Amino acid sequence: MMEPNPYAAPTAPVQDNPAIPEGRPWQVWVIFIFIMFGAVSNAGFLVMLANGRFPMTPESAAYFSGFGTAEYLFSSVSGVIYVAAAITLLRMRRVALPLMVTHVVLGLGFIAYQFTRPGYAEMMGHAGGYVGMAVGEIITISIAVYTYKLFQSGRLQ
């Protein structure tokens, strides 16, 4: 008796789940473009900041002068994780969710850490930065929640 060919086409019909819509939602494209624009902007900011070329208020200059290798590394790693989350979300992969959640947790942790550093409150209060920081975190958390909903609905593979 011959053994079945493991490379043969399947004999059973293969069907997609009709309850799951095909394609990529337009919101995923918006999120991807938003994150990529932010990543490029953040990378440019970090490079300019490290080279002393970023124009800022005296309060900001005092705060950022204390940035060391750990802060730059942490910001860079967080940015890379966010870009990876955006790419995997665009590809509709399940791994996008843990990457998004990791970025949210790292971001909130970094904000908490910054509150312990001298000059942070003065810099944020002078530049009206608390509102911008809050809006940014709300957007980031909203993106993570949307990713979770895609995950729960089975759209991410």
* In-domain check, residue 129: yes
Is 18 within a domain? no
Render pLDDT for 26-78 as a digit per residue (tens, 0 to 9).
999 999 999 999 999 999 998 998 888 888 888 888 888 888 899 989 999 99
DSSP the chain: -PPPPTTSPPSS-----TTSPPS--HHHHHHHHHHHHHHHHHHHHHHHHHTT-----HHHHHHHTT--HHHHHHHHHHHHHHHHHHHHHHTT-TTHHHHHHHHHHHHHHHHHHHHTSTTHHHHHHHTTHHHHHHHHHHHHHHHHHHHHHHHHHT---
**In a domain? residue 122:** yes
Q: Is the residue at 86 inside a domain?
A: yes
Q: Does a structural domain hold residue 4?
A: no
Number of domain units in the chain = 1
* Residue 10 within a domain: no
Q: What is the pTM of this model?
A: 0.81
Which residue range is the domain that position 121 belongs to? 26-153
Q: Tell me the per-residue pLDDT of 7-25, one tens digit each, with 9 for 90 and over.
A: 877 777 766 666 666 778 9
